[in-house]
Structure 1
Amino acid sequence: MREALDSVTILYVDEAPHQSTMGLEAEASCLDVVTAATAREGVEILAERPIDCIVSEYDLANVDGLAFLDAVRENDDEIPFILFAENGSEAIASAAISSGVTDYIPNEPGTDQSALLATRILSAVESTSGRIASDRRSQLEASRLARDEIIRSANVWINVLDESGNVVVWNETAEAISGYASEEVIGHNRIWEWLYPDRAYREDILEQVDDILRSETNVAEFDTTIRTKSGDDRIISWYSYALTDPATALNGSVAIGRDVTQQRETSRRLETLIENLPGIVYRSGPGSDWPFEFAAGECESLTGYTASELCTEVTWGVDIVHPDDHERIANAVSDAIDESEPFTLTYRILTRDGDERWVWERGQQTDTDALDGFIIDITEQKDREHALEQQNERLEKFASIVSHDLRNPLNVARGRLELARVERDDEHLDEVERAHDRMARLIDDILSLARGGERARDRDVVDLAELSESSWETVETGDARLITDIDRSVRAAQNRLKRLLENLFRNAVEHGGDDVTVTVGELPNRTGFYVEDDGPGISAKDREAVFESGYSTSTDGTGFGLAIVDEIAAAHDWTVTVTDGDRGGARFEITDVSFLE
């Protein structure tokens, strides 16, 4: 009898086992018979233990053997199934074959068919085992080919080393990054001398590889700098692990690498940028209390807390933001988030020592609902603004005193002059009137200078051509002529810009005479506008001095007119300079002007 198989477990399903099935174990010692009286009991046994072959009677309680076969095939389409029919017929045999039984044996009453049944069982088991083994080998081969293709075309560097450190696998990405073809590196370990030409560095790297081979540990995020075949340096991030393959008896290591040169360089630049930023860069979680998840920069110098403490021990919105400012800036941030807009804030903070400082912050919400932003210290700027406000208050007080204490006597003098003209009118009184007018202009100029340092905050849309023409009408110009060669509008404090133009027009008439021609035009490249005359011009040595208070080359001038022009331009964040005009006169250029479309 055949004894090729070590052990075969048979499930026999029948209400009353036949003598042929009872003698199976005697026919073949490898056979172990498990019985079940019903199909349901047979299905339960199949679920509980491994079975190599099923032998079933056709006539079963409630169902027939073919129905039982269908139930078996729902879970296992490989196990041999032999239909052993006591009341067999050609119709049953045909139905059994059509249903996919492994074998069909008619059970002849009164005969012992143990030997036949044992032979058929062993044959079915061996045939199925062989087919499964063949299918498994095919699957393994297909899997190996697929694995090799995945390794070859993977977009990460993959190399495999044997236990001696020689290269046995070198994929296409490894070739692309290193510049060395697989034919150049497989079968030896000289590649390490090529990739790491510095001996000390190479020995350190190889020592770590040896540790992997000896300890069978995994190493992740391990960076090395290689020298490519073309001489470039690239940073590779490695994931390495020991390799043991019982099937091939291969012991070695696998290394998977990613070229992170650009990422590391970007990270280095970002770190350098953060280190040199004049303030704090942060990321905070959602919520009005700004719980910092990340902070870097001048954390300690600004707040007294380290970056780590800002993220773990204190909360920005609770412990740092001044309590009197918290509600205001929380509402501003909430509004900006609702509108999907960045936010800009100015508020006070309290340092670790309790000192009050002013900060300026700009941030925005990210796609993950976190807040990213930066914060800078503006305490010194705020102190300067406060000092300037105090200075402006003093100047305003001074201007009021000047206006009252000088204008009152001047008004009295003008009244006396009118009375004197009633009694007599001569040239001496005309000189007195001109002196009074000069004193009035002097008072106006002093007041304008006193108030000129304030920024031009309340601005309107101003048409430069229209304002130039209206300003020209308020200046004594005699027979002088104005040309407006500009069609632009700006946003400016209209009264102050009018004063600027009046002073430039008056300066042109005072120095160019009653027949001077003055032109207001646009500078090239839309950078600003100019006021130009065809008078005698201003010498190069005097051009810087003309904007100084009290400087004048005219006996009738106050010396403050151009200084006021400079102050008004600065109040608008403009710049005024003087140069030669196209027709030889003076040309005042006002730049850094933003025209409106």
Structure 2
Amino acid sequence: MIPVQFTPFALPYYLATIISAIITVYAFQQGRKHGFNDPVLAFTTMEAIATIWVLCVALEYSITDQWLKTVLGIGRIVGALTPVLFIVFTLLFAGHERFVTRRYVTLLLVVPVASIILAVTNWYHGLMWSASSVVEYGGALFLYREFTTAFYVPMLYGAVLVLIGSTLLLKLALTSQRLYRRQAIAVAGGMLVLITSLIVWFVVELLFEFSPPLITLAFPIKGALFGYALFRFRFLDIVPVARDTVVDNMRDGYLVTDPSGRIVDVNDAGQALLDRTASDIVGNHLDALFPNDEGVLDGDDHATRTEHELTVETASDDPRFLIAHRTDLTRPEHDHPLGQLVILRDITNRRRVQKRYQTLIEHSSDLTVVLDEEGDLTYVSPSAKSIIGVPADEIIGENTMDHIHPEDIESVAERFDEVVMNPAETVRFEYRLRHIDGSWRTMEGVARNLLENPYVKGVVVNARDITARTERERDLERTNDRLEQFANIVSHDLRNPLTVAQGHLQLAKDTGDMDSLEAIEQSHERMESIIEDVLTLAQQEKSIGETEHVGLASIAREAWKHVETPDATLVVDSNTTIAADRDRLLRLFENCFRNAIEHAGADVTVTIGTTDKSFFIADDGPGIPDNQRDDVLEAGYTTAETGTGFGLSIVSQIAEAHGWTVSIDTSVAGGARLSFRTEEFDDLSRPVPNGQRTQ
């Protein structure tokens, strides 16, 4: 059975053991929870060794056997590692981790490791202590050893390390935020109490043969201060990150200047961004680094933080774009300036993407606009110039409805309200946009609500000019209608005379009646007329090319000669000229004259006259009823037994090809009157001095 004793000198060590064990377990749990970074690992290891140290002291004071006391005394030597771990921890905690390398730590461990080895083998060489014995003090037995000089070397070495570490912590406390200040003071205070008690013990050892255990209270005080830092100020939860660690791992570059603007510090990222080494940067003025942006980083307002975009030329001649955040380091309570901190961020890729999209938009044939909630234009792409003939900057701020066709405003407003009320929807619509020359361009737009987007703050409309496509669609629709008319003609109008001719041909074969041949001839003539009119109608679909000045009187008389009018009368009451395709205008008059003779009779009187912006062709026949005036201009419509129904349709097509409008009303004589009007006509109301009549 192990002989034990009770002494009040052991109690503080047991208390210190319990506190150190709690701190060790807590530090270990925090490391598992948040990760064993270097400061936490060093602190945890230091406290674990300190726990072993004070436990060995407590057990040595609690037993009476000399051999066991000697073994536990050797175990106490492991405490020599504590100062090394403390200095490693303080270097990491205070931001000097560049000194915590494998080489430096190995050199620091040489003395404590050597002392541990010498203590374990002391029975062989006696270099640490020459003799040992048990002495009584205060009613308890203590181990007394005659220490040699080698024993005091690791003690003094450890004291120096603790003093250095405590100095670093106190320096950090004076320059850090309040929370870190209290952490550092508590930890430094604990270690200083411990090292002070060791120094006192060392002095007493030198003066007396046996010194009582005067440092018993130092360990629990140190443990209490460590616990205060841990639990009151979350010592291992909130550890100040070293400046070098932050700077070395910053993706952004930074520059520090003195009050004159001369650079005194730069990090690795800053060197990479500027494409220069530290020796090429430090000592230069900011303006020398950014010659294209000279003076933009100057500032005298100590309370402001400014942002600028800079351009840097690199060795590859590719410009690099940077955002520079300038902060004046001078504090308000200081009278003299301290310098500036400039944070550099690379935005080259962002600028390239922006430039790419900007180039695409500027060279796009589509129109891109941004509207606010009221429909006012806040952005217009440069393509506005080519689409509506107006530079983009001239219409920014105007309301988009001012440029839309009046007939389309209501529908566009409805679609705009729809996209504003439903941000998730994409709305498509067609509308007409006014060109600077007064014409209208047909646009197909796609609107999307980006009012909540902080970079847009508007409704984006991408519109494409589909005027040519719309016109092609209309031409195609007219062509399809014409093909349908032609199909009807082939299937109906040509079939009737063909059927009549076939019937009379069969009759002539059966009976030899020669009168049937005359009927066959009439049917063929009718089919020929229909075919000619259909071909004429198809040709009039073509647009008008070059025009010439044509006299109405001369073209009317020429057309009159081409029509069989033995008993009819032509009155030309105008001597003006108009711009027209002569051949087609001639065909227009011919068809009007034939139509008048077919419906008004062989003795009809046809009058050619003009008004302010139109010319007309009128007859004295029965006229055209109001309910038929729209139908007579359609192909195939006729009220005559021998008519083809294409005459006035051909007239309408020729007028439309010229850009004229055709209207039908009643003439002065009560017959039909066809008027042809356009704003391009000059004043046509110049009558012939003496009405010329052709009979």
TM-score (norm 2): 0.34
Choose 1 or 2 for highest CA Rg: 2
The structure where helix makes up a greater share of residues is 2
The structure where strand makes up a greater share of residues is 1
TM-score (norm 1): 0.39
